[in-house]
Structure 1
Amino acid sequence: MRLIKIVVPEIVAYFVQGTEAPEPEYNCTCGMGVAKEYKCCPYCGAELAWGQVKKPSKEFSKMLERL
């Protein structure tokens, strides 16, 4: 039997390129950057719980629209 660590990725930045919609950048709790396509962290092996990622607040979303 093997224990599997499950972590919730956190938004650490938003990447804006030209006029495209800003895309969030995520980190695992170990500090490694992870993409939405990842099922687990490539560094620590923890399973990523994408369904539990917090959405940005309305105020933050409005601020991003102004950029």
Structure 2
Amino acid sequence: MIKIVVPEIVAYFVQGTEAPEPEYNCTCGMGVAKEYKCCPYCGAELAWGQVKKPSKEFSKMLERL
């Protein structure tokens, strides 16, 4: 059986004037990139379509950075 997990946003990376980029973790704790189909550590399939979007308030705060 294949384990399917939803990656979670754990941080935002801001560099200069570029838009903030989210950083994701698998539920096992391993960092994963949007290009990954599966977690390189635990092998779980990553359900990118179900990742929660940040709230409007949080997005506004990021724009001010």
In the superposition, the TM-score normalised over structure 1's length comes to 0.97
Q: RMSD between aligned alpha carbons?
A: 0.2
Aligned-pair identity in percent equals 98
- Give 1 or 2 for the bigger CA radius of gyration: 1
Q: Deviations over 1:10-54 (max 9, x none)?
A: 000000000000000000000000000000000000000000000
Counterparts of 2:38 and 2:44, CA distance in 1 = 5
Q: Which of 39, 59, 63 lines up with 2:61 in the alignment?
A: 63
User: Any unmatched runs of 5+ in structure 2?
Assistant: none
Cα distance in 2 between the residues matched to 1:62 and 1:20: 15
Aligned length: 65
Runs of 4+ in 1 over 3 A off after TM superposition: none
Q: TM-score, normalised by structure 2?
A: 1.00
Mapped partners of 1:4, 1:24: distance in 2 = 26
Distance in 1 of aligned mates of 2:6 and 2:57: 22
- Structure 1: state its 5+ residue gaps: none
